[in-house]
Structure 1
Amino acid sequence: MKRTVIVGAGIAGLATALRLARDGWQPIVVERAPARRSGGYLVNLLGRGYDAAERLDLVPALAERALGLFTTVLVRADGRPKLTVPSVVAEAALGPRAMTVFRGDLEGVLYDAVRDRVEIRFGITVDAVDQDADRVAITLSDGTTEEADLLVGADGVHSATRTTLFGAGHRVDLPYVVAAFPLARPPEGVPASSATTFIGPGRTAALVNLGPGRSSAFATYRCADPDRELARGPVPALRAAFADLAGGVPEALRDLEADPAVAYFDRVSQVKVPQWSVGRAVLLGDAAWCVSLFAGHGAALALAGADRLGAALTRHGDDIRSALTQWEAGLRAEVTKRQALARRGMYQYAPPSGLHVWLNEVAIRAVTLPGIRGLVRRGIERQNR
């Protein structure tokens, strides 16, 4: 039985463990965090990501946690409505083979699928990697060494595995930070099954009301020094960036102040590595190709990447290096395309000027028209092929 050590118990790592375990491998997952994390922002699974979730038999469990469609209301800084985008627009744009879930729920479904068949060690990091033509030896922080046929670095945008294999300098930090956190109660002033979204020059703040236990907040903004923002912490940084907003935002920040640890708060980055594998070690997910929040599709690419890696390893049998080469060749063009789309996302989430805000609203109004809606859907379908 082939053995693999997978670094990272996020979406990419757990999906890889699930696929390889089903293919007869013996995976060991090691995770830096002391326990499984939860929460996070909303992710859309569509196109190849939905296909991969289906092949991994995740769709039934995900359907129980799916958030469904909701109306989005664009608001002014004082909370007054500006433009309503009904849920039917999202339905038409995403198509029938799509699902929206919290990132933490996707990780939870994956964890439930692998925890009884895969060894998962929390609070463990990789200290050293040594490999030859026949095996890779991974020295772990608990003093043990695991010999395996394959090492998978799926430890996210800040991947230590990437640094070990390829050195530093492959993360490209963009001048933005992003925050997402659950709300203790549905946000004030936001109707049920709705989201209110403020988009202004250089920033976006959104509140989603999907009922108790399913409501959340999301924010991103442009800044000159992301490191300084992160050092301030989520509550002071978000208060300063969105101090002028009403419409439930102050109440959401007061909720966060009670437990700042629930927030996902980080810089926005991309990862660009000339190659994703060396010998019997490979990077996968954000560790290899983070496309950034602005490009979207991060969760979908992680699932698809894990599923395709399993397929390539099955096709090539013992020739792991050829499998990794073919796998990367089949996926890199899609990743490159998604990374390029991040610029469009920057203009949507953090428009550089009031003019760009107005142009975005004109485009959104157009999408609500039935004829244009169909064109948008066909365009998205082409992107996801």
Structure 2
Amino acid sequence: MKALISGAGIAGLTTALALHRAGWDVTMIEKAPGLRAGGYMLDFFGPGFEAAEDLGVIAALRQHARGVGRVDFVNARGQTGSSMDYDRMVSAADGKLFPILRGDIERVLHGALPDGVDMRYGTEIVAVQDRPESVAITTTAGESMDADLLVGADGIHSRVRRLVFGPEEQFIRPLGFHTAAYFFESGAVAAELAGDFKMMTARDRMAGLYEVDPQRIMSFFVMRADTLQRPSDMRGALVSSFGNLGWVLPEVLRAAPENADIYYDIVAQVEMERWHKGRTILVGDAAYAVSLLAGQGASLAMAGGRALGQVLDGAEDVEAALARFETQLRPLVEEKQQAGRRMANWFVPATPFHALVRDVGVNVMNWPPLSGLLGKFFSFSSKGFSLAR
């Protein structure tokens, strides 16, 4: 059996590992010229952690874990309103939690790929033809390929989804924010962070900062915005949104790179009635983006890729296996999406009241008699994501 996977991010690479283990021949198609670097810092836990253990990559991922002392929420003057010790968070997750850059996850997964996986960079699918028991594609290079399965793992703006299911606008649910991220060098900002992850929040805005390497800072931003269009001048949009804030933000904005080196997108979820059609299946953000505000997007992408490999391991009826994949995972994904929508005004405070309640809640969870509440945050069940026979 042969599978074509569009997208060599976390979802696609995990799917390739899982399908190859299940005995499938795998070809990966990625529009980027090579492995991508950087990306957000994220907390890796939940169903993806179990998937990484099962696929044998958890030890390699841990080697790339970053050290975080505390997570501090600060105001526009850099004053801390609430704080959480990261070791306490790890304990609440029973040790199955660590911070890692998204790009490091992709590098580990890529390094784990067997030689038998055919990786093709710098090309993209431009046409899909579904057949009774197969699927055919054409790439930008003019190449045609047939397979038993096409996996769209090409992100929230999935081309496979557009070609097979219809225009993006049908499936994107914007949450009313834009997000941006970039890396820069600054000894002064690094000194202010002192090894902690700091998130400055002001009304309808949030900026997160962390020193990933000596004096190399990862910055990411979330700001309320109604438009679905990304600005042509991303740097200017960030200055417009955050330029009136204090603390280290002036230095952070001065260090912003040119547009080509800034990641910028809308904050949105993907909602679809079906994730599969014929011999095409969507996995990860292409099918069920939960958004930055919900968290665990990388974890769910990895869990979905592993689960797809499980249902197709020895499957005689491919379409029945795809239906089983979707039926079992959909309720868990929708639960996480709902939680993300509820969290929006607290993650990026809509009012000073929201910021106050958030700070009180975080500080309460630091109090030993009530610290068990923190465990509920990490209690998202991963059991439903294991579809082994």
TM range (shorter): over 0.9
Residues 269, 291 of structure 2: 8 Å contact kept: yes
The answer to whether the aligner puts 1:147 opposite 2:133 as a matched pair is: no
Aligned residue for 2:7? 8
The answer to whether the aligner puts 1:184 opposite 2:185 as a matched pair is: yes
**Partner residue of 2:329 out of 314, 331, 344:** 331
Give ranges in structure 2 of 5+ residues lacking alignment. Answer: 384-389
Deviations 1:192-232 (A, max 9, x none): 321222112211112113442763112101023241xx224
The more displaced of 36-45 and 103-112 is: 36-45
Deviations 1:256-301 (A, max 9, x none): 23x4433221111111110011111111110001111111111111
Residues 185, 213 of structure 1: 8 Å contact kept: yes
Deviation at 1:323, TM superposition (A): 0.6
Report the CA distance shift for 1:84/1:301 in structure 2 as closer, same or farther (over 3 A): closer
CA distance in 1, matches of 2:41, 2:92: 17
Deviation at 1:126, TM superposition (A): 1.2
Deviation at 1:303, TM superposition (A): 0.6
The more displaced of 234-243 and 371-380 is: 371-380
Report the CA distance shift for 1:185/1:123 in structure 2 as closer, same or farther (over 3 A): same
Residues 125, 141 of structure 1: 8 Å contact kept: yes
The answer to whether the aligner puts 1:245 opposite 2:236 as a matched pair is: no
Aligned residue for 2:172? 171
**Partner residue of 1:319 out of 317, 320, 326:** 317
CA distance in 2, matches of 1:116, 1:215: 35
Deviation at 1:8, TM superposition (A): 0.6
CA distance in 2, matches of 1:177, 1:378: 28
Residues 181, 262 of structure 1: 8 Å contact kept: yes
Runs of 4+ in 1 over 4 A off after TM superposition: 382-385
CA distance in 2, matches of 1:67, 1:214: 13
**Number of aligned residue pairs:** 380
Give the letter aligned to residue 47 of structure 1.
G
> RMSD of aligned C-alpha atoms?
1.9
1:200-279 correspondence runs (5 A): 200-212=202-214, 215-227=217-229, 230-257=230-257, 259-279=258-278
Give the letter aligned to residue 177 of structure 2.
Y
* Percent identical residues: 34
Deviation at 1:164, TM superposition (A): 1.1
Report the CA distance shift for 1:178/1:281 in structure 2 as closer, same or farther (over 3 A): same
Deviations 1:124-173 (A, max 9, x none): 11121112222111111111111101000111000111111111111122
Normalising by structure 1, we get a TM-score of 0.93
Residues 68, 197 of structure 2: 8 Å contact kept: no
Partner SS state of residue 183, structure 1: strand
Give the letter aligned to residue 245 of structure 2.
L
CA distance in 1, matches of 2:148, 2:262: 37
Partner SS state of residue 3, structure 2: strand
Partner SS state of residue 314, structure 1: coil
Normalising by structure 2, we get a TM-score of 0.92
CA distance in 2, matches of 1:184, 1:77: 21
Give the letter aligned to residue 114 of structure 1.
L
CA distance in 2, matches of 1:161, 1:379: 33
Give ranges in structure 1 of 5+ residues lacking alignment. Answer: none
Residues 69, 91 of structure 1: 8 Å contact kept: no
The more displaced of 87-96 and 317-326 is: 87-96
Aligned residue for 1:27? 26
CA distance in 2, matches of 1:203, 1:209: 21
